[in-house]
Structure 1
Amino acid sequence: MIRRKELYKEATSLTVSHDIRVRFSEVDSLGIVWHGHYITYFEEGREAFGRQHGLAYLDVFANNCTTPIVKTTIEHKLSLRYGDVVRIETTILDTPAAKMIFRFTLFNDKNEIVCTGETLQVFLDKEGDLLLTNPPFYQEWKRKVGLEK
């Protein structure tokens, strides 16, 4: 039996690396990043990916779609602290389904993995209805970046 996750293939040529510095507002009284901010770091990675590969939120919106996140997974490995520089690597996973899956790996300045995770986004039309097939603009984007022939 093929497990569902095995159907996705990582598109390693479509990976974006983006650095940020941990801000004071993201840490607790011990100077450690609060766990909820890692989701914001994922968002930063997705935005950097979109800008670099022509799949920004405004590009999606211009095509009368939105892509809400319906699932997030996260695994914390090490702590980040105020002032740390974090490298966010964001990779899109290729799937034939009408959704986008992004994988994230966060590294500290020692190149240690701090956190890993994924987000799953679906496509909604301008009325907010779920699209069961990839919208034409996304199919064209996949062709343009080499995920589809």
Structure 2
Amino acid sequence: MLEHEIELEIPFHDVDVMRIAWHGHYVKYLEIARCALLESIDYNCDEMEQTGYVWPVIELNIRYAKPLRFKQKIRVLAKVIEWENRLKIAYTLFDSESGQRLTKAYTVQVAVDAANGEMQFASPQILLDKLGVSA
């Protein structure tokens, strides 16, 4: 299945007085990884809009197992795990040095027709084409 990995360093402006990343910033790290994943199949936000669909996130789940710390280098692996009726992407955050798993998460997005605002109950053909799968 399609997956993509990025590496990030936890910046000072994302941490609290204990030098631990605030839990809300994790969503930003997932977003960066998701954008890189979709860019890798040439289906970024601009491409989505050009094909007539927007893909809002309708569900987000994060399991915080280990904290992320100031200056820590992490790898974020994003993997498409569902695509038929929605786009579900699973994420795993690892410490870059040790390889230890730190966090697991997923997001769910649905296709919405940009012209009329109607949610699609099946993923549009353009997504299937970009993923290289058949309906």
| TM-score of the pair, normalised by structure 2 | 0.92
Partner Cα separation in structure 2 for residue 68 and residue 100 of structure 1: 10
Q: Secondary structure at the match of 1:80?
A: coil
Aligned pairs, number: 133
Show the counterpart of 2:125.
136
Shift of 1:91: 0.3
Aligned identity (percent) is: 21
Q: What amino acid is aligned across from residue 135 of structure 1 in structure 2?
A: P
CA distance in 1, matches of 2:79, 2:59: 16
Cα distance between partner residues in 1 of 2:90 and 2:113:
24
Match of 2:91 among 104, 111, 114: 104
- How big is the shift at 1:81? 0.9
The equivalences for 1:1-149 within 5 A come to: 11=1, 14-97=2-85, 99-108=86-95, 109-126=97-114, 127-142=116-131, 145=132, 147-148=133-134
Cα distance in 2 between the residues matched to 1:123 and 1:96: 11
- Give the alignment's Cα RMSD to 1 decimal: 1.4
Long gaps (5+) in structure 1: 1-10
TM-score, length-scaled by structure 1: 0.83
Counterpart-to-counterpart distance in 2, 1:103 and 1:148: 21
For residue 87 of structure 1, report the CA deviation from its aligned partner. Answer: 0.2
CA distance in 2: counterparts of 1:41 and 1:24, whole angstroms: 14
Instruction: Provide the rounded CA distance (Å) in 1 between the counterparts of 2:83 and 2:29.
Output: 23
TM-superposed CA distance for 1:64, in Å, is 1.4
The whole-number CA distance in structure 1 between the counterparts of 2:121 and 2:60 is 20
Distance 1:39 1:115 in 2: 11
